[in-house]
Structure 1
Amino acid sequence: MTADELITTYFETGTLPGLPDGHFIDGAIVAPAAGGKMESFDPGTGRPYASFAAGDAEDVDRALVSARTGFETWSRRAPAERCRILNEIARTLRAHAERLAVVESLDSGKSLAEARGDVAGSARLFEYYAGAADKLDGRSVNLGSDAAAFTIREPVGVTAHIVPWNYPTSTLVRGIAPALAAGCSAVVKPAETTPFTALLIAELLIEAGLPAGVVNVVTGTGTEAGAPLVADSRVAHVTFTGSVGTGVNVMRAVAPNVTGLTLELGGKSPLVAFEDADPEAVADGALWAIFSNSGQICSAGSRLILHESLRDAVLPRLVEKARALKLGHGLRNPDMGAINSAAHLDKVAGFVSRARGRGVEILTGGTVTTDPESGSGWFFEPTILDTPDPADEAVTQEIFGPVLAVQTFSDEEEAVARANGTEFALNAGIYTRDTGRALRVARAIDAGQVTVNDYWAGGIELPFGGNRKSGFGREKGLEGLDAYTRAKAITLAG
């Protein structure tokens, strides 16, 4: 079915045909051991539209047994063969891109255009790591003697991937693609509000030639399925994306097994605009830095830090652009889609309500709303808060919604201090025409990624990850392979 046919079917029937209702273990969809099911909700309507398997420790055990066998098979494949299969996976994802995008939009609430971009980027991720699969070489080491010494890079083994709900497809793929390139196998636990694209992609991996057992998917809650997965001693590395609190619990869970860990825990990223910046470019950049995916992005530019001389030129433009954004059901392809769940909508609304109670000026938005066409769904207006107090929770805490906190500064030192003024250190953006200042400030800001004059510049070729409470480890880029390989030194005495 085409995307239009799928969308028509959904709005006529309230569901989609062919959605998997079990786990994906050992190359096939299988029923949950305990027979439990959960409902998946459409954020654009606030109503359930399908059910999926509620996994538990028994399901996790089955998946890990399969993944261990899959690892023995996959790790012995020639690197060139892994390269070929990963490229075939990319082609297969592109062939099924429209169906994946419709399901991604329906499951997460994001616009269809955003979902299409996520699927296209995921196909590119597989291509990128396909190119690395046959180039994971060691090095020759001169010991200054007759001995011959060299290193080799080996896959770490079975990996676990805890995938968040805001980017179910691209976060899944940015973890499993380098793991597969390195020769590892994987067990994936998608978020309980967005289970379906992981299951559909797992089926496509088999279609593209990946051996059964190399990638397994167990759905369910974090407590019943995620916790036993990360705590299992058969797992060599855990890649987790989520909240700080849950990340700390994952660290505790993996510690007894001394399991490798990559944590991406979110951010409160600053966009700093200096007095020489183009006001229109700053307004456009700030708009999409915070309102893309309804602000539900760990790296969202959720703090706009303006030079005081630029404030009056930027804010009216930005407010006007925010008010012009069209909200609606993701499958109708609006400018901004829904909030992923009722619980998260309450959290976002709570931050804004408390800010209003403290006397923070709301320049625009600030209200829970619905899809204007249907009058239903979980939506929040694009919101801009005037927050001069650097200690205000709207400045320091991750809201993870379409809420922008605006601050001002008078000089470069104050700009850097405000940019570094939270516990997070994931992304940052700088707007200036002064190249020297851009490089100087980029070095001074504590962040895993810094972009200049385009907040979303960069791409999959660059490492992504944070410092401090944004986590540790890097995904994407060649650095994304580091978590899934280990170096072994071999020396032959003369």
Structure 2
Amino acid sequence: MTVQDIAQDYLKTGKLACLPDGHFIDGRITAASNRKMESFDPGRAEAFAEFSLGTEADMDRAIEAAEKAAKHWRQVAPGERCRILNAVARVLRENADRLSVIEVIDSGKTLAEACGDVQASARLFEYYAGAADKLDGRSVNLGPAYTAFTVREPVGVTGHIIPWNYPTSTFARGVAPALAAGCSVVAKPAETTPFTALVMAELLSEAGVPDGLVNVVTGLGTDVGAKMAQDPRIKQLTFTGSVTTGVDVARMAAPNVTRLTLELGGKSPLIAFEDADPEKVADGAYWAIFSNSGQICSAGSRLIVHKSIRDEVLAILADRARKIKTAHGLTAPDMGAINSDLHLSRIKAHVDAAKARGANILTGGDVTTDVQTGKGWFFQPTIIADLEPDDPAVQEEIFGPVLAVQNFETEEEAVALANGTQFGLVAGVYTNDVGRSMRVAAALDCGQVSVNDYWAGGLELPFGGNKKSGYGREKGWEGLDAYTKVKSITISNAS
């Protein structure tokens, strides 16, 4: 069946065949307790399946399997790890249609976005397959009396707490480098998006990943997530999510001095200078905030625009925003659903508070539904203009299709506004002045800067934040650092 066939079948029946029922532990879907939780399709606001609520015992079994598998995997030749990871990429592509539809129904995004996520996931496994046999140490010159060198060793069992906004690609960007480095994996997907991680684990097994090397336990963060974070057998913990939950995870992991990678919130600015093309600025801002319904840590949720082009940019952008079609992700809309009713209420609360403060709402500003069905969790594409630096819509992460607009006159003012939040994840700069782009990029306190194309870059570049956006880097060669430890070896050459 093609992706369209699978999508149409679901839209008619409201059901997906052959969804995993249980956890994936030690190479197979395992029987789980009778504790279940409904999984909702955000585009319909209706339950379409149930999944297992794991227990601490389930997580314990998963970590035990991973610990056993790690001892074998670290002895596997790097070239063989390379071969298996390339096989994973191939199998993911062969199953991309089914996986993409599951991603839409799990998360609420559009099918086009989901297809892109699956292809990116396959590419991540290819990228790190190429790294598996290149994790070399270095020779250190201590003079003729000694031979000194370093080696990179796998850390062991790694834990991965997966967010709901990108459940497929975030799973891949942690699991692929961990496996390449010789580590094993225990993953806990978000409660609202449990199925893609389970299906991907099955596909990894089909591709030849040894039993026990990748394990997935579904359930609540307060149960299985907390157990993972507190378990001393977890040697590296990678978390993507909110600042509040990230701080809790760090506290739980601290007694064991567990290594951490935290990718937390963002309030990323797109800075448009007076020499920028207003059409290009508006287009960049459009995709920066309305992709995935704004549910992206690195979304360009602040437009910091020079006063001389402010009116033209906002006129173009507001016109495009008003024309956005929001509907179920499988029906080819411009923008999909909000992931959950709870999160929709949070977005609404932020915008309602801005209205109460007298904010200038250029367009949108309210909850909506799929115009064809009257169902689903949707929020109108929203632009809030002319905000002061201390306004909550500027300072707080809304994590939805809501753009906060600030105005400036000088380069120094633009940089100060851009750096003026507790976050430091991504920034975009729009200017035709190369010198200015370099000065501003150097002055911005964030982990990633793009010039004249907000989403420029790719998985080959490291990704991560400063300040309360977290620490550590994923993707790129730097993404391997979390899963290896360096050992120095010195040999005396004296006879």
TM-score scaled to structure 1, two decimals? Answer: 0.99
Instruction: Tell me how far apart the structure 1 counterparts of residues 403 and 8 of structure 2 sit (CA, whole Å).
Output: 35
| Shift, 1:37, TM fit | 1.0
Number of the residue aligned with 1:262: 261
- 1:480 Cα deviation after fit: 0.2
What amino acid does structure 2 have at the position aligned with 1:295?
G
Amino acid at match of 2:5: E
Counterpart of 2:4 in structure 1 is 4
Unaligned runs of 5+ in 1: none
For residues 404-461 of structure 1, the C-alpha deviation after alignment (integer angstroms, 9 at most, x for no partner) is: 0001001000000000010000000000000000010001011100000000000000
How far does residue 116 in structure 1 lie from its aligned partner after superposition?
A: 0.3
SS of residue matched to 1:309: coil
Q: Tell me if the contact between 1:155 and 1:184 (Cα under 8 Å) persists in the aligned partners.
A: yes
Who is 2:17 aligned against?
17
Residue 45 of structure 1 aligns to a residue in which SS? Answer: coil
What are the equivalent positions in structure 2 for 1:130-141 lying under 5 Å apart?
130-141=129-140
2:334 aligned with 1:335, yes or no? Answer: yes
C-alpha separation in 1, matches of 2:6 and 2:389: 47
| Offset of residue 70 of structure 1 | 1.1
* Partner residue, 1:436: 435
Identify the residue that residue 457 of structure 1 maps to in structure 2: 456
Query: 1:217 matched to which residue of 2?
Result: 216
Paired residue for 2:296? 297
Match of residue 142 from structure 2? 143
1:88 and 2:84 are equivalent in the alignment: no
Question: In 1, Cα distance between the equivalents of 2:392 and 2:386?
Answer: 10
> In the TM superposition, what is the alpha-carbon distance from 1:12 to its structure 2 partner?
2.0
User: 1:56, 1:268 → 2: CA distance?
Assistant: 35
Displacement of 1:21 after TM fit?
Answer: 1.3
Could you tell me which residue of structure 2 aligns to residue 357 of structure 1? 356
Following the alignment from structure 1 to structure 2, what is the Cα–Cα distance between the partners of residues 21 and 51? 8
How big is the shift at 1:389? 1.1
Give the counterpart letter for 2:232 in structure 1.
Answer: S
One-letter amino acid matched to 1:153: R
Question: Which residue identity is paired with 1:288?
Answer: W
Give the Cα–Cα distance (whole angstroms) in 2 for the partners of residues 355 and 8 of structure 1: 39
Structure 2 Cα separation of the partners of residues 388 and 86 of structure 1: 48
The one-letter amino acid of 2:121's match is: S
- CA distance in 2 between partners of 1:99 and 1:11 (Å): 14
Q: Which residue of 1 aligns with 2:29?
A: 29
Local SS of the residue matching 1:292: helix
Alpha-carbon deviation of 1:4? 2.0
Superposed CA offset, 1:45-89 (max 9, x none): 000000111001000000001001110121111000000000010
Q: Give the CA deviation at 1:123.
A: 0.5
Higher mean alpha-carbon deviation, 137-146 vs 48-57, is at 137-146
In structure 2, distance between residues paired with 1:7 and 1:318: 31
1:253-281 superposed Cα distances (whole Å, 9 cap, x missing partner):
11100000000002000000000000000
8 Å CA contact retained: 1:387, 1:394: no
AA aligned opposite 1:136: L
**Secondary structure in structure 2 of the residue aligned to 1:93:** helix
Residue equivalent to 1:486: 485
The structural deviation recorded for 1:493 is: 1.1
Q: Is the aligned partner of 1:378 residue 2:377?
A: yes
Distance 1:56 1:458 in 2: 40
Q: What's the counterpart of residue 65 of structure 1?
A: 64
Deviation of 1:110 (Å): 0.1
Q: Quote the Cα distance in structure 2 between the aligned partners of 1:148 and 1:356.
A: 68
The 5 Å alignment of 1:395-406 reads 395-406=394-405
Quote the residue 2:324 is aligned against. 325
| 1:491 CA displacement | 1.1
Q: Does 1:308 align with 2:307?
A: yes
Report the alpha carbon displacement of residue 387 of structure 1 after superposing the two structures with TM.
3.6
CA shift for structure 1 position 187: 0.2
Asked if residue 40 in structure 1 is aligned to residue 39 in structure 2, the reply is yes
How far does the alpha carbon of each residue in 1:111-158 deviate from its partner, in whole angstroms, 9 at most, with x for none? 000000000001000000000000000111111132111111000000
Report if the CA contact (8 A) 1:55-1:219 is conserved: yes
C-alpha separation in 1, matches of 2:3 and 2:72: 36
Alpha-carbon distance between aligned partners in 2 of 1:387 and 1:337, rounded to the nearest angstrom: 27
Instruction: Give the equivalent residue in structure 1 for 2:425.
Output: 426
Letter in 1 for 2:193: T
Superposed CA offset, 1:159-199 (max 9, x none): 00000000000011000100000000000000000011100
Distance in 2, Cα, partners of 1:114 & 1:199: 20
User: How big is the shift at 1:96?
Assistant: 0.4
Whole-Å separation in 2 of the counterparts to 1:333 and 1:182: 39
Quote the Cα distance in structure 2 between the aligned partners of 1:421 and 1:272: 13
CA deviations on 1:457-483 (whole Å, 9 max, x unpaired) are 000000000000000000000000000
Tell whether 2:85 aligns with 1:103: no
- 2:190 is matched with 191
Q: Matched residues in 1 for 2:105 and 2:175: separation?
A: 23
Distance 2:386 2:465 in 1: 25
Q: SS at the partner of 1:389?
A: coil
Give the letter aligned to residue 42 of structure 2: P
Residue matched to 1:115: 114
- Looking at structure 1, the residues matched to 242 and 260 of structure 2 have their Cα atoms a distance apart, in angstroms, of 15
Distance in 2 (CA, whole Å) between partners of 1:389 and 1:407 is 7
| Amino acid paired to 1:454 | D
Please give the alpha-carbon distance, in whole angstroms, between the structure 2 residues aligned to 1:279 and 1:238. 43
The secondary structure found in structure 2 opposite 1:236 is strand
Matches of 1:424 and 1:57 in 2, distance apart? 33
SS in 1 for 2:144: coil
Aligned to 1:469: 468
Q: Give the counterpart letter for 1:27 in structure 2.
A: G
Distance (Å, rounded) in 2 between the aligned partners of 1:276 and 1:468:
30
What is the Cα-based RMSD across aligned positions, in Å? 0.7
8 Å CA contact 1:387–1:395 kept in 2: the answer is no
In the alignment of these two chains, the number of paired residues is 493
Give the secondary-structure state (helix, strand or coil) at the position aligned to 2:234: coil
Describe the SS at the equivalent of 1:334.
coil
Percent identical among aligned pairs is 66
| Aligned match of 2:181 | 182
User: Residue 322 of structure 2 aligns to a residue in which SS?
Assistant: helix
Question: What is the alpha-carbon distance in structure 2 between the residues aligned to residue 383 and residue 313 of structure 1?
Answer: 17
**What is the rounded CA distance, in whole Å, between the counterparts of 2:398 and 2:212 in structure 1?**
38
Partner AA of 2:238 in structure 1: T
**Alignment-derived partner of residue 208 in structure 1:** 207
Question: Aligned-pair distance for 1:487?
Answer: 0.5
Q: CA deviation at 1:492?
A: 1.1
Instruction: List, as ranges, runs of 4+ consecutive aligned residues in structure 1 with deviation greater than 2 Å.
Output: none
Shift, 1:348, TM fit = 0.1
Q: Does 1:366 align with 2:368?
A: no
Contact 1:31 1:53 (C-alpha < 8 Å) held by counterparts: no
Shift of 1:10: 1.1
